[in-house]
Amino acid sequence: MLASSARAIRDDVAAGRVSAVEVCRAYLDRMEAVNGSLNAFNLIDPDRALAQAAGVDRRRAAGEPPGALAGVPVALKDNLCVRGMRTTASSRILERFVPPYDATVVQRIERAGGVIVGKTNCDEFAMGSSNENSAFGPVRTPWAPDRAPGGSSGGSAAAVAAGGVPLSLGSDTGGSIRQPAAFCGVVGLKPTYGRVSRYGLLAFASSLDQIGPITRTAADAALALGVLAGADPADATSSRQPVPDFSAALTGEMSGLRVGVPRAFVAEGVDDGVKRAFDEALDTLRRGGATLVDIELPHAKYAIPVYYLVATAEASSNLARYDGVRYGYRSSRHAEQGLRAMYSRTRDEGFGAEVKRRIMLGTYVLSAGYYDAYYLKAQQVRTLLRRDYEQAFERVDVVATPTSPVPPFRLGEKVADPLQMYLTDVFTVSQPLAGLPAVSIPCGFVGRPERLPVGLQLTGRMFDESTLLRVADAYERMTDWHAATPPLWS
């Protein structure tokens, strides 16, 4: 059962071959068994999960439609609000916060029969590329206990890779779904900006954040996106674009597909093993009937500085609400010194080093005298990045790159050098800046004796997740990388 896809679990529960409660208990046992090694979960809620599963079984027995996710255990990144369930964003400043409402994606999962089992560890407020910035300790990739799982949705990716859940949700601001998926050997989909409601997501950078699924297969990602997608009156940035049947798009065919390859962009700074796996993946796409087309993304080299100006500016604004007055942590030190001292001590004690670094950088670039030189200029280059992709998509259907230029690195290896950590996002920051969908799928391994997973990233046109998922699914049918399991399974 633990190796089953979300689709298979749904079908078995709907047909009565297994009960949702049995499925839930099996996965809860698995989570308890592996979490001590991975630290993937901040919270597991067996009572709530089993009650939800029992409700699914009652509805099925009464002849009601079981739902597209009937009985499927789902883990949520700990920056998604669930009414009555502690939601911390892996930060001390929200350590005791219990939301009074559900995120829209939570409502849609539960309406579809999904069973929410708990909240996964992440970089604090989704700020990080290694999951080492969590106030509750780092997550470890199931493939090697000394390696990072990627960030910021490291707990969500590790939970799926280790068999703790068949489906989890993450958020992606600059690669936080795709990079962990690559480091953990699973599938991670960042939808088009606006495809999925952000209502109930604790904001990092509002023009970039997007919620998406992490799964073992492209077919499960398509199933999940079909549940999550669609307009939401609670989120003014959600799109009214029609939601297609993503699962119906999985024909297994790539014939006639044009795959753009930005050769110059991927030529430098990529690990040799990652480059070999990427080249082999391109060969597989070609054998499947796709045509490889060389393209240029001339402004992609500026994506990292643009991202770390835009994202930090928005973070500075969004995180101003955590002041110790309305909710969350409040410092009791120096209370006699007045309100300003309380603000300062609360934020100093409640936020971790990386969050404080980004708040300070964002505040600086928004300040008088620097706004035009930094933030405004970054927004102008952001427009050029979007135009690069628009021009590329006049010639191709998808763009292929490695997901990360390096395989999973050791915990602690890049902590002392933030710039080197930021550069691991070089292939994943352009898509949020341009609002484009992208998916990471397993495409090989590097290293001996350790086998460290490598991800292939595919980027598509706005609101064309169907093509991305079709290519990902067709690639999976020609390979078995997605079926590999980490040593932790045995």
Where in the sequence numbering do the catalytic residues fall? 77, 152, 176
Residues 193-226, buried b or exposed e (16+ Cβ, 10 A)? bbbbbbbbbbbbbebbbbbbbbbbbbbbbbbbbb
Beta-carbon contacts of residue 83 (< 8 Å; ≥ 6 apart): 99, 100, 101, 102
CA distance 48 to 46: 6
Beta-carbon contacts of residue 352 (< 8 Å; ≥ 6 apart): 91, 92, 124, 133, 135
Beta-carbon contacts of residue 453 (< 8 Å; ≥ 6 apart): 143, 182, 183, 184, 185, 407, 408, 442, 444, 445, 481, 484
In sequence order, which ranges of 121-176 are alpha helices (DSSP H)? 154-161
Structure tokens at 41: 């979960």
C-alpha pair distances (Å), 157 with each of 75, 136, 143, 273, 454: 10, 17, 12, 22, 14
Return the residue matching tokens 């950078």.
205
| Bridge partners of residue 258, in order along the sequence | 291
N-term to C-term CA, the chain: 15
CA distance 84 to 229: 24
CA distance 225 to 126: 21
Return the residue matching tokens 């991670």.
188
